[in-house]
C-alpha cells in the first residue's frame, strides 16, 4: 500500500534545515502498531506522526524510531501544517485526539501555528547521581522534576557548550533530561536543550512537550506569562510561549517549513 508522507520542519528559526523535522503520514485507518513503529524507524527522525480522520478532527499518534510517545509538540505542529495546507485547506483550527487529551491547534495572526498543550509545572528535586554524571560531575543550580528531569544552569553559554554523558542520561527515569538557563540572546527569555537516548533521540532539535514544564517554571521565575524561548541545539528552534495557569494550559507557537512530500510503500 502507498501512504502519503510529508516532512515538515517545526519551530523553525528561519526556513528549512532549522527547527525539528517530523514526518507526517495520514492514514485511512490504523495499521498494526508494529508497522507504524517500523515506518518511524525507517524514517529515522525524532518523531513520525500518524493521523486518522475522526469526525471534524483527527486521531493523532507519535512514534520515535523506538517507541510510541504520549505527547509530542513539534510533530503536532507539523501535523497541523499538513492539515491546513493539504488535507483541509482553508481551515484555521483543528482538534487532535491524543493520549495526552484533545489538543487544539490554530493559526495565529503572526503567521505561526499555536498549540494548546497541558501545563505540567515541575517540582523541586535533588539531583540523582546519574544527573550529576551526565553534566560532567557538577550539580546544576537547581534540579526540577516533571515528566523529565530539568537541570537549571547559570548561563546560556553553559547550555550551548554542554556535552552530556549520554550513557548517564539513559539511566534516568522518564524520557530524558532538559537543560535550561536564562537567555543572553536579545529578545529571548530562556534557552534549553533536550536529551533522550532512552527513546532513541540522543538530542532532540526542538522539544515542544518540554515547554509544558519549562514555561510554568520560567513564567514564575521571571514574573511574566508571555515568554520567548530558544532551543539551542545545532539546528535551533524558536517558540513563542504563554503560561495559562487558570486553564491548566501552555500555549506554544512557532513556524513550519515544508521540506518534502511524496509517498511511501509498505
Task: Give per-residue pLDDT as tens, 189-226.
Answer: 999 999 999 888 899 999 999 999 999 999 999 999 99
- Which of 249, 206, 245, 180 lies closest to 72, judged by CA? 206
Classify domain 2-118+253-265 at the CATH superfamily level: Diaminopimelate Epimerase; Chain A, domain 1 (3.10.310.10)
CATH 3.10.310.10 positions along the chain are 2-118+253-265, 123-245
Query: How far is CA 19 from each of CA 182, 204, 218, 237, rounded to the nearest angstrom?
Result: 20, 10, 21, 5
Where in the sequence numbering do the catalytic residues fall?
47
- Which of 201, 187, 163 lies closest to 238, judged by CA? 187
pTM of this prediction? 0.95
State whether CATH 3.90.25.10 applies to domain 123-245: no
Query: How far is CA 15 from each of CA 9, 192, 259, rounded to the nearest angstrom?
Result: 8, 20, 9
- How much is the average pLDDT of 67-73? 95
What is the tens place of the pLDDT at every residue in 236-253?
999 999 999 999 999 999
30 vs 3: CA distance, rounded Å? 12
Amino acid at each position: 500500500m502507498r501512504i502519503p508522507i510529508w516532512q515538515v520542519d517545526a519551530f523553525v528559526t528561519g526556513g528549512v534545515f532549522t527547527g525539528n523535522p517530523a514526518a507526517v503520514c495520514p492514514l485511512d485507518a490504523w495499521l498494526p502498531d508494529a508497522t507504524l513503529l517500523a515506518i518511524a524507524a525507517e524514517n529515522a527522525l525524532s518523531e513520525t506522526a500518524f493521523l486518522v480522520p475522526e469526525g471534524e478532527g483527527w486521531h493523532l499518534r507519535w512514534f520515535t524510531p523506538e517507541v510510541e510517545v504520549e505527547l509530542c509538540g513539534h510533530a503536532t505542529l507539523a501535523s497541523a501544517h499538513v492539515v491546513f495546507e493539504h488535507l483541509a485547506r482553508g481551515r484555521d483550527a483543528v482538534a487532535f485526539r491524543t493520549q495526552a487529551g484533545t489538543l487544539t491547534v490554530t493559526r495565529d495572526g503572526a503567521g505561526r501555528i499555536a498549540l494548546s498543550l497541558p501545563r505540567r509545572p515541575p517540582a523541586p528535586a535533588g539531583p540523582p547521581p546519574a544527573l550529576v554524571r551526565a553534566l560532567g560531575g557538577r550539580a546544576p543550580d537547581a534540579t526540577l522534576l516533571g515528566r523529565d528531569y530539568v537541570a537549571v544552569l547559570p548561563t546560556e553559554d553553559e547550555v550551548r557548550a554542554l556535552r552530556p554523558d549520554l550513557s548517564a542520561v539513559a539511566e534516568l527515569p522518564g524520557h530524558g533530561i532538559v537543560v535550561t538557563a536564562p537567555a543572553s540572546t536579545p529578545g529571548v527569555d530562556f534557552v534549553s536543550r533536550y536529551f533522550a537516548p532512552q527513546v532513541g533521540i540522543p538530542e532532540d532539535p526542538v522539544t515542544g512537550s518540554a515547554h509544558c514544564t519549562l514555561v510554568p517554571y520560567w513564567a514564575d521565575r521571571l514574573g511574566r506569562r508571555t515568554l520567548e524561548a530558544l532551543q539551542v541545539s545545532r539546528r535551533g528552534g524558536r517558540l513563542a510561549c504563554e503560561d495559562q495557569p487558570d486553564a491548566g494550559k501552555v500555549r506554544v507557537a512557532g513556524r513550519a517549513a515544508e521540506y518534502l512530500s511524496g509517498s511511501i510503500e509498505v
